[in-house]
């Protein structure tokens, strides 16, 4: 019997027969090779065919990572990011009637990294992050997790008055490409990858 997340992935595979891979690849900024789509996600390369998603490195991959890539390929989104970012927490309030405790995504990062900015920055670099606008006590990192979906992390170091705070930011156009449920999958995959990269010192093998 398949688990819930596995069932979601298998359900997405059934929709691939209706997808024009070449058109989607051009619109989403992906590479189309030999009737398949190649895509980079969290510093790993994948190939998508009618049978689903396979990592090119042959290493295990979480089923939610596979689902995110199919959600993205099946998306009807178009255009480019505006480079205007909002917090992930605020996105549910933009959607009428949706109430979600989005801060649950921030908490694992704060719990794991605490005020250890060095450990955070080392993992961020390995996951493809680029630091922007360094300030005293505040660090801003950008990750191009998918071609049309940039993500930023703001790391506020703890001080005498406030504990460490880690904030997840996404471009305002993100809902054009992923519905909120899919977006929550993507952010969850990113959070897991950042923590696992710090734990194991690498982006694969866990």
pLDDT of residue 205: 78
97 and 60 within one domain: no
pLDDT of residue 46: 98
182 and 138 within one domain: yes
The residues that bridge with 40 in the sheet, in sequence order, are 45
136 and 44 within one domain: no
**pTM (predicted TM-score):** 0.92
pLDDT of residue 95: 64
Chunked into runs of 10 residues, the chain (206 residues) has average pLDDT values of 84 97 96 96 97 96 96 95 92 62 80 96 97 88 96 94 94 92 93 96 87
Give pLDDT tens digits for 117-164.
Answer: 999 999 999 999 999 977 888 999 999 999 999 999 999 999 888 999
pLDDT of residue 109: 96
Q: What is the CATH number of the domain that holds 137?
A: 3.30.310
Q: Looking at 44, 74, 104, which one is the last position of a domain?
A: 74
> Does the residue 97 lie in any domain?
yes
pLDDT of residue 96: 56
> Does the residue 206 lie in any domain?
no
Rounded distance between C-alpha atoms, residue 39 and residue 148, angstroms: 12
186 and 122 within one domain: yes
Q: Which domain holds residue 63?
A: 4-74
Q: Are 202 and 126 in contact (CB under 8 A)?
A: yes
130 and 47 within one domain: no
Rounded distance between C-alpha atoms, residue 204 and residue 206, angstroms: 6
> Does the residue 162 lie in any domain?
yes
69 and 49 within one domain: yes
pLDDT of residue 1: 42
Rounded distance between C-alpha atoms, residue 20 and residue 101, angstroms: 35
190 and 103 within one domain: yes
97 and 67 within one domain: no
């Amino acid at each position: 019997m398949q688990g819930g997340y596995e069932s979601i992935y298998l359900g997405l595979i059934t929709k691939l027969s209706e997808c024009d891979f070449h058109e989607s690849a051009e619109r989403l900024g992906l590479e189309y090779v030999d009737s398949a789509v190649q895509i980079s996600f969290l510093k790993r390369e994948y190939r998508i065919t009618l049978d689903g998603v396979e990592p090119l490195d042959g290493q295990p991959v979480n089923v939610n990572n596979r689902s995110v890539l199919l959600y993205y390929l099946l998306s009807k989104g178009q255009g480019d990011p505006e480079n205007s970012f909002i917090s992930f927490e605020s996105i549910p309030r933009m959607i009428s009637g949706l109430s979600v405790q989005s801060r649950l995504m921030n908490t694992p990062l704060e719990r794991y990294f605490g005020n250890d900015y060095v450990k955070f920055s080392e993992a961020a670099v390995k996951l493809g992050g680029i630091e922007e606008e360094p300030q005293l006590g505040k660090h801003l990192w950008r990750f191009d997790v998918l071609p049309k979906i940039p993500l930023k992390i703001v790391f506020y170091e703890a001080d005498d008055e406030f504990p460490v705070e880690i904030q997840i930011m996404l471009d305002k156009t993100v809902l054009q490409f992923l519905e909120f449920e899919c977006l929550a999958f993507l952010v969850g995959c990113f959070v897991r990858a950042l923590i696992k990269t710090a734990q194991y010192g690498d982006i694969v093998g866990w």
